[in-house]
Amino acid sequence: MSGIFISFEGPDGAGKTTALKTLMPLLQAKTDQEIVLSREPGGSSISEKIRKIILDIHDEEMDPRTEALLYAAARRQHLIDVILPTLQANKIMLSDRFVDSSIAYQGGGREIGMKEVADINDFAIDGHLPDLTIYFDVSPEVGLSRIRKDHEGAMDRLEREAIDFHNRVYDSYMKIVKANPDRIKTINAEQAPEKVVADALDAIIKRFPNIFNKGE
Ligand code: TYD
């Protein structure tokens, strides 16, 4: 396996999805290796079907463990269909969310337990952790206020959850970041969007200077 695998994490409203769109061409300009961008839940045709079930606004009584298992199942299929083939082809894989999202949202947010959710995900990912994770740090208050401003009336099921759910997600992310100092790099996502992108770009280039060295 010779490609590299980078995941992007953060609470709702961190702006990572928008930042990734800007970041992707900037990163591509720095390397000859092809970059593939994907997202979770989803990222492959079976995984996108599972995504629809999970995020359906009408599924209000979904059991938390059912939800956690569906995320893990979608992740497994995404890994098999997209992530591993991309890495085997010596390409660079960027994933908008990966296993840390489940540990923070289902483990912490839904209170299943971080360890319990990490365990079912270990089964799903079978040791394939990202080489680098960029964590977009935004407080629950700022994150939620951004979501409300962006698409009022069109929030999905998880985004409708109470502020204490988001606080638990945030606290869990903090624990994950603390426990994985080598893998996870934190970016201040409360800054101006251009600065967030610049910091993420910088962190990635610094971590893989031999890969992102074009135009120097
Ligand atoms: P999405 O619309 O893709 O949001 P974002 O742009 O913020 O990533 O929806 C993803 C939602 O699913 C988000 O609220 C986080 C949640 N989620 C989990 O709860 N567990 C997971 O394992 C993943 C991947 C996402």
Q: Measured between alpha carbons, how far is 157 from 180 in angstroms, rounded to an integer? A: 29
Determine if ligand 1 sits within 6 Å of the CB of residue 71: yes
Cβ atoms within 10 A of the Cβ of 44, count?
18
**Within a domain: residue 42?**
yes
Ligand 1 pocket: which of 50, 67, 97 to mutate (most atoms within 8 A of CB): 97
Which pLDDT does position 21 carry in this prediction? Answer: 96
Which pLDDT does position 59 carry in this prediction? Answer: 63
pLDDT exceeds 80 at position 160: no
Q: Whose CA is nearest to atom 4 of ligand 1?
A: 12
Which pLDDT does position 111 carry in this prediction? Answer: 96
Determine if ligand 1 sits within 6 Å of the CB of residue 100: no
Question: Which residues pair with residue 135 across a beta bridge?
Answer: 9, 186
Determine if ligand 1 sits within 6 Å of the CB of residue 102: yes
Q: What is the CATH number of the domain that holds 82?
A: 3.40.50.300
pLDDT exceeds 80 at position 26: yes
**Within a domain: residue 190?**
yes
Distance from Cα 215 to the centre of ligand 1, integer Å: 35
Domain count, the chain: 1
Ligand 1 pocket: which of 18, 75, 101 to mutate (most atoms within 8 A of CB): 101
Q: Whose CA is nearest to atom 20 of ligand 1?
A: 102
Q: What's the chain's average pLDDT? A: 93
Chain centroid to CA 107: how far? 15
**Within a domain: residue 215?**
no
Q: Which tens digit of pLDDT belongs to each residue from 37-73?
A: 999 999 899 999 999 999 887 767 889 999 999 999 9
Ligand 1 pocket: which of 62, 105, 117 to mutate (most atoms within 8 A of CB): 105
Q: Measured between alpha carbons, how far is 107 from 76 in angstroms, rounded to an integer? A: 18
**Within a domain: residue 9?**
yes
Collapsing DSSP states into helix, strand and coil, what is residue 92?
strand
**Within a domain: residue 212?**
no
Which pLDDT does position 58 carry in this prediction? Answer: 73
pLDDT exceeds 80 at position 216: no
**Within a domain: residue 44?**
yes
pLDDT band, very low/low/confident/very high, at 74 (cuts 50, 70, 90): very high
Question: What are the C-alpha distances in Å from 164 to residues 18, 26, 49, 169?
Answer: 25, 36, 29, 9
What angle separates helix 64-78 from helix 114-125, to the nearest 10 degrees?
30
For residue 44, the enclosing domain spans 4-207
pLDDT band, very low/low/confident/very high, at 95 (cuts 50, 70, 90): very high
**Within a domain: residue 214?**
no
pLDDT exceeds 90 at position 86: yes
Determine if ligand 1 sits within 6 Å of the CB of residue 11: no
Which pLDDT does position 146 carry in this prediction? Answer: 86
**Within a domain: residue 170?**
yes
Which pLDDT does position 154 carry in this prediction? Answer: 59
Q: Residues at the annotated binding site for ATP?
A: 10-17
pLDDT over 70 percentage in the chain: 92
pLDDT over 90 percentage in the chain: 80
